[in-house]
Structure 1
Amino acid sequence: MSTRWPDRLPTHDRFDYRPITRRPDYTWPNGARLAVYIGFNVEHFAFGDGLGACIGPASPQPDVLNHGWREYGNRVGAWRCLELFDALALPTGALVNTALYDHCPELVQALVARGDELIGHGHSNAERQGVLDEEHERALLMRCRERMLRESGQAPAGWLSPWISESALTPDLLAETGYGYTLNWCHDDQPLRMRTRGGGSLWSVPYPQELNDIPMIVGRLMDARDFSAMVVDNFEEMLDQSRAQPLVMGVALHPYIVGQPYRLRHLRTALARLAQARDRGDIWFTTPGAIASHVGEIERERPGEFG
């Protein structure tokens, strides 16, 4: 008996395949070809329950070692990172758990005072979003959006799911609850439109899973010096590539990881290199929301090119 294989594999049908070499051409503000942003993940984790990255083997709850290591980011590491960002005049896209408003509101206030973009990142990173049914996922998206508007005076335009955990309906629900873009997908180096139900759409802005301290430093046990060199190498290669296409490079940082003093020392070297490129006019150093707004303006002038 012969086996019949399906002609096509199951697909998400959110966007079509389009190679990077066959895209519309455009530039970022000031004629730049490479847009760079920091995704600064400020998160809170339940004590004695739920998910969380680990520096040592997970222990039966309460896991004081790993909870305390993560909490260092809110108490110390984030503040050291903000000092560094201030010294280099770097904006961030701050990915905010709304549990921070209860736990350490001063930290969110500091981000607002800097003028950083606040991006929805769930209520807590101790929870996965993708396990929720439609009603509860919609409620999560609406509650986070409403609370950030109420507490900080700005409703988030974008969203990154805790642990990049999506249901099959997440893009639809994001579009329907007022979000303009998602950072969940790491499939490209350019923004593109995703299809959502009912004829809607949602921008997908590239978010890094390689230039990201959790998979690199925690997952692959990369040294801080090597992570810094990786950021610089990636930047210089993408700067060369951007001569052919406009590109986006994000750097994802978590303060309980890069806020550790010896890692911060090496991060400073990498970010200083990016700041120098910005000062020379080689790049546009920005936020994910500004990227989505810019391509949205281009799309209105040139409809149909970004699908």
Structure 2
Amino acid sequence: MLPTHGRYDHHDLPGRARYLWPGGGSGDGRGGTGLAVYLGVNLEHFAFGEGLGAELAPGPASGVGPYPDVLNYAWRDYGNRVGAWRLLAVLDELRLPCTVLLNSAMYHHAPALVAAHRARGDEIAGHGRTNSERQSAMPEAEERRMIAEATEAIRRHEGKAPTGWLSPWIAESRATPDLLAEAGYRYTLNWCNDDQPVWMRTAHGRLLAIPYPQEVNDIPAIVARKDSASQFAEMIVDDLEERLEQVAGDGVPQVMGIALHPYVIGQPYRLRHLRRALRHLASRRDALWLTTAAAIDAHARTLPSGAVPGAA
């Protein structure tokens, strides 16, 4: 027996319960759809002269060169100053909702950008204080304090606490699910182990793990694998169409996430390809549920016992 996390049980894909998401059309007169799709827009802020950060070119975060890391800091900041606004225009054009994965430092750094998403009615989910830090490296008391600070900032500015969380760098300590449930979170996006929501055990009750993509995600695709903008757009379309085929008829329902970072996808030549992919997505809205992660969580909790796999 190998060491395990103990958070959920293994469930093979065949034989799972069939259910429908709201919206779209199943094609058999029942209404509903087998595919829920959400966009995860990461709004992140980074410390200057220290800390972690994605790198356009090797810098201090990868052990190359001293701080200040002007090249990579400025590349990331482009997303908040320019790229995110271009992405917002595309979302408005196509009437697409999104889940904003928010570093709470953005309330100080770029409040107008957060306000623009608020005005659209987008979901604001917790994403730590800043992506310059990694919560898996924190002692438990410090991690609990970081979660509380990020949560309270969102509650103060949005008028309600977030229900979902994505850790900076998707990094967890062994205590993270417990701390999230303790803080009142209903779902996490950290675990990419399935194409359906999965119940996780915590010391404070169940926590829903909603699929967050590590493939249809512009950082692994474009920054890590060096895929082109065209390839990333094709990835979105192919992922969508393959899933629609799989959920047709009596197929097991699925969740498709698309993860976007404005400093990557907001570059003009990449945005042009993304717009093409999202236009295709919007054209298929009658066959799927275009929604937010919070709405997926809310609907999953209405399903009959046993429909959602994971923890007993």
TM-score norm. by structure 2 comes to 0.93
Whether the 8 Å CA contact 2:18–2:307 is kept in 1: the answer is no
Structure 2 counterpart of 1:127, one-letter code: E
- 1:217-228 equivalent positions in 2, closer than 5 A: 217-228=222-233
- 1:240-279 equivalent positions in 2, closer than 5 A: 240-243=245-248, 244-278=251-285
SS of alignment partner, residue 107 of structure 1: helix
Give the structure 2 partner of residue 92 of structure 1.
98
Structure 2 counterpart of 1:139, one-letter code: R
Q: CA deviation at 1:303?
A: 2.1
- Alignment partner of 1:215 out of 215, 220, 224: 220
Give the structure 2 partner of residue 163 of structure 1.
169
Whether the 8 Å CA contact 1:119–1:157 is kept in 2: the answer is yes
1:196 to 2:202 alignment: yes
Any unmatched runs of 5+ in structure 1?
1-7
Structure 1 counterpart of 2:151, one-letter code: R
Give the structure 1 partner of residue 292 of structure 2.
287
Q: CA deviation at 1:22?
A: 2.1
Q: Which moved more, 1:189-198 or 1:34-43?
A: 189-198
- Alignment partner of 1:60 out of 66, 71, 84: 66
Q: CA deviation at 1:57?
A: 2.0
How far apart are the structure 2 equivalents of 1:305 and 1:113?
A: 35
Structure 2 counterpart of 1:303, one-letter code: S
Structure 1 counterpart of 2:139, one-letter code: D
How far apart are the structure 1 equivalents of 2:114 and 2:99?
A: 12
How far apart are the structure 1 equivalents of 2:38 and 2:95?
A: 12
1:144 to 2:144 alignment: no
- 1:17-32 equivalent positions in 2, closer than 5 A: 17-30=10-23, 31-32=32-33
How far apart are the structure 2 equivalents of 1:271 and 1:40?
A: 14
How far apart are the structure 1 equivalents of 2:276 and 2:202?
A: 41
Q: CA deviation at 1:102?
A: 1.0
Q: CA deviation at 1:305?
A: 3.7
Give the structure 2 partner of residue 303 of structure 1.
305
Task: Tell me the alpha carbon deviations over residues 170-192 of structure 1, each in whole angstroms, 9 at most, x when there is no partner.
Answer: 00110010000000000000001
SS of alignment partner, residue 49 of structure 1: coil
1:15 to 2:22 alignment: no
- 1:55-134 equivalent positions in 2, closer than 5 A: 55-58=56-59, 59-134=65-140
Give the structure 2 partner of residue 50 of structure 1.
51
How far apart are the structure 2 equivalents of 1:234 and 1:284?
A: 15
Q: CA deviation at 1:143?
A: 1.3
Whether the 8 Å CA contact 1:109–1:152 is kept in 2: the answer is no
Task: Tell me the alpha carbon deviations over residues 247-274 of structure 1, each in whole angstroms, 9 at most, x when there is no partner.
Answer: 0000000000000000000000000000
Whether the 8 Å CA contact 1:190–1:247 is kept in 2: the answer is yes
Aligned-residue Cα RMSD (Å) equals 0.9
Structure 1 counterpart of 2:283, one-letter code: Q
1:178 to 2:184 alignment: yes
How far apart are the structure 1 equivalents of 2:306 and 2:290?
A: 27
| Equivalent residue pairs, number | 294
How far apart are the structure 1 equivalents of 2:254 and 2:91?
A: 23
Give the structure 1 partner of residue 40 of structure 2.
39
How far apart are the structure 2 equivalents of 1:154 and 1:116?
A: 13
Q: CA deviation at 1:154?
A: 2.7
TM-score norm. by structure 1 comes to 0.94
Q: CA deviation at 1:144?
A: 1.1
Q: CA deviation at 1:222?
A: 0.6
SS of alignment partner, residue 297 of structure 1: coil
- Alignment partner of 1:236 out of 233, 238, 241: 241
